[in-house]
Amino acid sequence: MIDLYTDAVFELHETGHHPECPARLASVRKQLEQSHRFEQCRVHGSVPADPQTILRVHSQSHLDRIETTSRHGGGRLDPDTVMSPESANVARRAAGTAVGAVDTVLGESGRQAVCLVRPPGHHALADRAMGFCLFNNIAIAAAHARAAHGLDRVLIVDWDVHHGNGTQDIFYEDGQVYFFSVHRWPFYPGTGDVGETGAGAGLGTTCNLPLQFGISRSDYRSAVANALEDFARRARPQLVLASAGFDAHRADPIGSLGLETEDFAVLTELVDDVARTYCEGRLVSFLEGGYDLDALAESVDCHLSTLIDRDRERAASASQ
């Protein structure tokens, strides 16, 4: 059974008239209630991350700035990134949820988890918030998997329409966290060219698949399948983490690569195949972008239902 992490507290991060708004999760929750997904999963709430957990990835000055900005009523950290009085608490809980999901998945062979959290994380740098993101949830999860569970090969797959520049930057010279990103190019934030492959000990552990607007859906899927299979063979991961952004959907108002909802089932299957091949199915996904409320809700439901169906198939096969 899939572990689903969700909590109404994530809607307390108020952003005003902004694409990354509480209504995103409200829309997803309504869709999952209508499709009865909550009844098909083990549902968990959230817990705040310990500061030391966050500091594995972020600087003390960054953590202090997030805390101070919330205490003073919120405000803008950059032209895109907004905080309210509750934002620091919500961001700590998003990071804590990431850590808790990793602990759950690594505690039982084959277990998988989906984390419906906000604010998103993949643009957040070690010392700076950016692009709607306060703490880099998936980077914190990867660092925790290494520090608390002794892993030395973690694969992050990012299919958000925007390049996960924060995640790439944090692990660019690391050598133990592999980063694969498929994204629209050229596009915000301007990083993610094919020549960005890592440096030092991390040389070869970053794989960018930049795709131009107008690519056909079939070409998109084929490109991802081929590149991810090759990169996963090199990484041989002990855990797979997915930055599951849904703003490559054709209806998205600030992204789009022309994908339809069902294309996220294909992406989910590809990442699940990697997890099954190399690490007994261990996979955790984290909500990133997706700003058309209906398309986001349908796409998250598609992602989750694909994992549920595949988990049932695997359980049935194992019992025969």
Domain spans in the chain, listed from the N-terminal domain onward: 2-319
Order the strands of the 177-184 sheet from edge to edge: 41-44, 2-5, 112-115, 283-287, 239-244, 154-158, 177-184, 206-211
Please confirm, yes or no, whether 122 is among the known catalytic residues.
no
Alpha-carbon distance 234 to 224, whole Å? 15
pLDDT value of residue 121: 98
Mean pLDDT of the region 14-38: 98
- Least-confidence region, from 102-106, 178-182, 315-319: 315-319
Mean pLDDT of the region 1-22: 97
pLDDT value of residue 318: 80
Architecture of domain 2-319: 3-Layer(aba) Sandwich (3.40)
Closest to 292 measured CA to CA, from 249, 260, 261:
249
Q: Which of 58, 62, 122, 123 is catalytic?
A: 123
Q: How many whole angstroms from its chain centre is CA 63? A: 20
pLDDT digits (tens, 9 = 90+) for 146-183: 999 999 999 999 999 999 999 999 999 999 999 999 99
With cut-offs at 50, 70 and 90, classify the pLDDT of residue 316: confident
pLDDT value of residue 159: 98
pLDDT value of residue 17: 96
Helices (H) and strands (E) in the chain, counts: 9, 10
- Least-confidence region, from 32-46, 96-110, 183-197: 96-110
Q: Does 205 score more than 90 pLDDT?
A: yes
pLDDT value of residue 109: 66
- State the average pLDDT for the chain: 97
